[in-house]
Structure 1
Amino acid sequence: MLRIPCPHCGERDETEFGYGGEAGVDYPADPAALDDAAWGDFLFVRADPAGWFTERWCHVAACREWLVVERHTVTDEIRSARFAGDPVGGTP
């Protein structure tokens, strides 16, 4: 089982979290200008690397905070976890 280190609650089982997908995907600046194909790309086309990947997780069973987690998709090793609103590298 994947163990995710919540900065608030400590390391917890992945069953306490909800997966939020790839981190860093911005909402379209002008959504009305997108055609169906562009919306399809925005909603469904994501990176799928065999390596390090930055993802969003919500700690739904405890603090309910959104996290940004760097996880290796092959080994499930977690390199970092921070609150979604914190700058890269942690809280200043």
Structure 2
Amino acid sequence: MRITCPICGERDRREFYYKGHALALDRPEPDVGEEAWDDYVHLRDNPAGETRDLWQHEAGCGAWIVVTRDTLTHAVSATVLASDAAGGA
């Protein structure tokens, strides 16, 4: 898979560190109980199809990038600096 860093250009995905889904997770209140915290820490959606993920160009410029890609084909359709992403990352 190839990812286009908005700063450095197209690179192999091995230069990047995958952080996870680009949308913010709703952090539970401290006193909600173990089950809510277990869900928050361990359960994530695993969609088939288009997703927006947060990646860091770890072996390059260090920029955080929001990558829009298809999880079935690994085709990357868009990349944008996380600081420029609509609604933040």
Verify same fold: TM over 0.5: yes
State the SS of the aligned residue for 1:85.
helix
| Matches for 1:4-83 after TM superposition, within 5 Å | 4-26=3-25, 28=27, 30=29, 32-83=30-81
User: What is the CA distance between 1:41 and its match in structure 2?
Assistant: 1.4
Aligned equivalents of 1:85, 1:29: Cα separation in 2: 25
User: What is the CA distance between 1:49 and its match in structure 2?
Assistant: 1.2
TM-score, normalised to structure 2, is 0.86
Moved over 3 A (4+): none
The percent identity for this pair of structures is 38
CA shift digits 1:1-53 (9 cap, x unpaired):
x10010000010011011101111235263x2332221221122111111001
TM-score, normalised to structure 1, is 0.83
Aligned equivalents of 1:54, 1:42: Cα separation in 2: 19
Aligned equivalents of 1:51, 1:6: Cα separation in 2: 22
State the SS of the aligned residue for 2:37.
helix
| Runs of 5+ consecutive residues of structure 2 not aligned to the other structure | none
